[in-house]
Amino acid sequence: MITVENAIEAILKEIRPLGLESTDILSALGRVLGADIRASRPNPPWDNSAMDGYAVMASDTAGATEASPVSLRVIYDLPAGSVPGEAIKSGEAVRIMTGAPVPDGATSVIMVERTKEGQEGTALMLAEAKEGDNIRRKGEDFKAGDIVIKAGTVVRPAEVSMLATTGTPFVMVHRRPRVAVLSTGDELADIHDEPENGKISNSNGWALSALVTACGAVPVQLGIARDNKESLKEKLADAMKADCIVSSGGVSVGDYDFVKDVLKEMGSSMIFWKVAMKPGKPLAFGIIGGKPAFGLPGNPISSMVAFEQFVKPSLLKMSGRRDIFGATFSAILTGPVKVRPGRMTFIRARLDAGAGQFTATPLEAQGSGVISTMVRANSFIIVPQGSSGFDEGETVKVQPFDPSVLQRDTPGY
């Protein structure tokens, strides 16, 4: 049986980033830039004022105090968005607003709070200005020709700001993977139907589609295939339109577990079957028509754990991401964890950031069909393959699967 680490390596060897497409910068949020972004103009585009106040020659304000202000003649007003008039000469000032270009001759801006209106078109400077005060220099942010965002960067609001300021309404990003999601089982009922006579609701189809969406990929819900080869083949033929195939169920050793056989019959090269992990052992991975195909186990938690470990990094890699693995945290156990050694075990837990110290609380009821435990959990405690577990107070490795672990509860709201 292949280890989790070797399985990840074997899978990622087969996965390539998808091609590029053009999109508007707001739709690019969360996606990966396929090309460097170069600025065609500097920012700021010219020296401009960081304050509302007066543009002056700093030397004119030498010795100015509240008690003995320096009076300067105001030669014009300069609101943001307007172009400076004539250059300032000694003894003159320009009333300037934040963001307006600094007029020639001015060497600093003195903030309005350090001035007073004087008589007949003059203003009183109540403090000395130093050269360069309150002036934002042309190109201090970036210069024309600079690479302002590198290819491979994930677009966040900060990158949207940069793209907008450089006048870039459209960018090239990696395509979002389209992921065919297929559930298998004669026992499965559609969510809209009342399950009866031995049927259960198809939860995996929805859970896996949600996981796909949470990765920034696009689920293509193929619904339910029945436990016979014809039904599986028919559904898998539909799946070939997608970039990747994720099925659940039918990969175990039961009499009706045909997914592996059908994948093989459809010309898939099977890379491995069964991983030394718990839950999630009966996992098949192959390539069918050039597309990665994950046959996840049917138990709801097994399929979600396997998705997190194998499918998520794969979809992120296809999306052009380089940071494809989730961070893990060291946390103190609030209770014991006991497992049978031999497989890497993922224990549903609550990770708590507490008072600067992470704690991990293993939850009751770890059965691979117990969805309510998954609902209460926000992370997995990872028990290494050879370990039989840990005692309360020991430090363990924890993998959060829920971004809200970085948020905190705010009582009173």
Q: Which residues bind ligand AMP (CB under 6 A)?
A: 183, 185, 187-188, 200, 202-205, 248-250, 252, 254, 297-300
- Placement of tokens 């990622």 in the chain: 12
- Smallest distance, ligand AMP to C-beta of residue 230, A: 17
The contacts of residue 288 (CB under 8 Å, 6+ apart) are: 236, 240, 245, 263, 266, 267, 268
- Smallest distance, Mg ion to C-beta of residue 209, A: 18
Please report, as residue ranges, which positions from 288 to 327 form the binding site for Mg ion (by CB under 5 A): 298
- Smallest distance, ligand AMP to C-beta of residue 395, A: 34
Instruction: Name which of Mg ion, ligand AMP, none residue 146 binds, using a CB cut-off of 5 to 8 Å depending on partner kind.
Output: none
Please report, as residue ranges, which positions from 206 to 245 form the binding site for Mg ion (by CB under 5 A): none
How many angstroms separate the Cα of 70 from the Cα of each of 61, 123, 410? 6, 8, 53
- The residue among 187 and 308 lying less far from ligand AMP, judged by its C-beta, is 187
- The residue among 49 and 202 lying less far from ligand AMP, judged by its C-beta, is 202
For residue 205, state whether it binds Mg ion (rule: CB under 5 A): no
Instruction: Name which of Mg ion, ligand AMP, none residue 203 binds, using a CB cut-off of 5 to 8 Å depending on partner kind.
Output: ligand AMP
For residue 282, state whether it binds Mg ion (rule: CB under 5 A): no
- The residue among 209 and 303 lying less far from Mg ion, judged by its C-beta, is 303
Structural tokens at position 32: 């990966």
- The residue among 177 and 297 lying less far from ligand AMP, judged by its C-beta, is 297
Applying CB under 5 A, which of residues 34, 44, 53, 249 lies at the interface with Mg ion? 249
The contacts of residue 236 (CB under 8 Å, 6+ apart) are: 182, 225, 245, 247, 262, 263, 266, 288
Measured from the Cβ of residue 6, the count of other Cβ atoms closer than 10 Å reads 13
Rounded Cα–Cα distance for residues 279 and 305 (Å): 7
Measured from the Cβ of residue 199, the count of other Cβ atoms closer than 10 Å reads 15
- Smallest distance, ligand AMP to C-beta of residue 3, A: 21
Applying CB under 5 A, which of residues 53, 185, 313, 389 lies at the interface with Mg ion? 185
Burial 277-292 (b: 16+ CB within 10 A, else e): bbbbbbbbbbbbeebb
- The residue among 115 and 303 lying less far from ligand AMP, judged by its C-beta, is 303
Q: Is the four-CA dihedral 299, 303, 306, 310 of positive or negative sign?
A: positive
- Smallest distance, Mg ion to C-beta of residue 250, A: 5
Q: For residue 17, is it left (φ>0), alpha (ψ between -120 and 50) or beta?
A: beta
Across the strands, what pairs with 179?
Answer: 219, 244
Rounded Cα–Cα distance for residues 101 and 80 (Å): 8
- Smallest distance, ligand AMP to C-beta of residue 264, A: 17
Please tell me the count of residues contacting Mg ion according to CB under 5 A.
4
- Smallest distance, Mg ion to C-beta of residue 312, A: 23
Footprint of Mg ion (CB under 5 A): 185, 249-250, 298
